Structure 1
Amino acid sequence: MAQAHPTDGMPQLTLDGPVAIIEFCRPTVANRLSPNDLEVLNAHIQTVDQNPEILVLLLKAQGKYFCSGYDIGALGQSSAPSSLYFGQTVDRLEQARPVTVAMIQGGIYGGGTDLALACDFRIGSFDCNMFMPATRLGLHFYPGGLRRYVTRLGIDQAKRLFLTAEKIDASEMLRIGFLTDLVPATELGIKTQALLETLTQMAPIPLLGVKSHLNQIANNDMDFQAIEALVRQSERSEDLLEGARAFKERRPPKFSGR
């Protein structure tokens, strides 16, 4: 396991074979993200995207909160970027090459909820809760986040959460589709690890290709030619032959990504 950055309060990146882990390390301030944190987060995503061995990116956090979003106190500083920069960072996470998983414990608030929505999977524990206070605080939310709320949760739930700033618990988060799975806190790590193992055992070409194209389709941006090209690439791949052999021999396949 290779640690790319030491723990210094900023998001920490760890590489572990086909899995990359980004951990939020400011538990005393509910893991809110400052402009400097966002720069580090962008750099981590770039590092992961450029490493072809990484198939899965896990987001996790220290303490009893997952993330409370952008440090809006920074908006009062003349040198601080707009909250649009937070949105651009989350857009980049959504577009990341690997499959993304958010392991959510405790509270998740504001832009932190959008950070999780940008992930492909969101596993939460029963002590989770969330709310979106932007409107109550006087802040108009950025475009990518509004799109994610509507495409992933539906227009009615997006209006409910944005326009009322209602706080909801874990069971309601699961019911409306914010969480993809909900487990007791003692099983959160176990459930997440099982998902990571399942994902890393898949054939890389369709795993990463289908993830990307499903997101594009959800955003009304379906590229038939690009999908057809990946279908043909997968049909010519060594992995397809290996998958067929493994199925015939009743053994787990050993994919190479070729």
Structure 2
Amino acid sequence: MAIINTQLQDNIGTITFNNPEHRNVLSKELINETLQSIGALQKGKMRVLIIRALKGSKVWSAGHDVHELPMPGRDPLSYHDPLVTVLRSIQSLPIPVIAMIEGSVWGGACDLALSCDIQIGCQTSSFCMTPAKIGVPYNVTGILHFMNIMGVNVAKEMFFTAQPLSAERAYQSGLLNHLVDVDDLENFTYDLAASITKNSPLSIGVIKEQIRLLASAHPLNPVTFERVQGLRRTVYDSKDYAEGIKAFLEKRTPHFSGD
């Protein structure tokens, strides 16, 4: 059974995560199907893309598949990592991408949702940034992404506590463009998408790319970049990183030592 459902209707493309048994975890398989679906939809007359889970889902996506994280000594979020690849693909699409969020969003799935251009949630939506729970050093572009959207202090709280942000707090913090009743979520989202399809696709594509370039215009000198990469390496080379993955796989609380 496919773990991604794809639809194109009235110039609106829809990618639906269809792997509830595994909480729509962002495995290589799901990500590859998502990338293939995006490519297929682009061949049609798609002007807006909606990414969603099945109606009634308790989990929009549980984020990165921990079973697929590399063992110590390798960067878990390198440039060619499948998750990083799909984030770039969504950000660079020349059409608006809407995240229709029903249920909880964990870890790297938060980055996926925020990589979309518009986020629409409901009362069941929540966001939990979990890398510190398993000792993962998040990458530079991901952290900068959160800082740009919600500000430094809220980003710090999300990463440091690894506690869920409620739908109301997410809306107040700028993570959600709209917070609507769960029964209205689908109609509201598709009505908004339909309104976008009436506007100039060329103009929208150019404006989206301009915003992407301007939002990422934060130059780092080589010394600073090398220091950041060195800091991250101390984590993925550490005993804590190995313990975090091992504890997750053994379904127990990790015992971090700071080494």
| TM-score range normalised by the length of the shorter chain | 0.7 to 0.9
- Distance in 2 (CA, whole Å) between partners of 1:141 and 1:154 is 17
Q: Which has the higher contact order (CA 8 A, sep 6+)?
A: 2
> Normalized against structure 2, the TM-score is what?
0.76
- Distance in 1 (CA, whole Å) between partners of 2:59 and 2:12 is 23
Contact 2:12 2:194 in 1 (8 A): no
Question: Please, which of 22, 25, 45 is the counterpart of residue 29 of structure 1?
Answer: 22
Structure 1's unaligned 5+ residue stretches are 1-7, 222-258
Question: Please, which of 191, 198, 204 is the counterpart of residue 201 of structure 2?
Answer: 204
1:236 aligns with none
**Partner of 2:69: helix, strand, or coil?**
helix
- Give the drift of 1:82: 4.3
* Percent sequence identity over aligned pairs: 24
Contact 2:58 2:124 in 1 (8 A): no
> Normalized against structure 1, the TM-score is what?
0.76
- Distance in 2 (CA, whole Å) between partners of 1:53 and 1:181 is 26
1:94 aligns with 91
Question: Please, which of 56, 60, 84 is the counterpart of residue 52 of structure 2?
Answer: 60
| 1:212-223 alignment, distance < 5 Å | 212-220=209-217
- The residue type equivalent to 2:124 in the other structure is D
- Give the drift of 1:75: 2.3
Contact 1:150 1:158 in 2 (8 A): yes
Question: Please, which of 6, 15, 21 is the counterpart of residue 13 of structure 1?
Answer: 6
- The residue type equivalent to 2:45 in the other structure is E
- Distance in 2 (CA, whole Å) between partners of 1:114 and 1:104 is 13
Aligned length: 212
Deviations 1:8-56 (A, max 9, x none): 242222222411111111112221121121122222223344x362110
Structure 2's unaligned 5+ residue stretches are 219-259
Q: Tell me which moved more, 205-214 or 40-49.
A: 40-49
- Distance in 1 (CA, whole Å) between partners of 2:161 and 2:168 is 19
- Distance in 1 (CA, whole Å) between partners of 2:6 and 2:44 is 16
Say whether 1:138 aligns with 2:135: yes
- Give the drift of 1:147: 2.1
Deviations 1:159-193 (A, max 9, x none): 11112212111100000000000001011011101
- Distance in 2 (CA, whole Å) between partners of 1:144 and 1:213 is 17
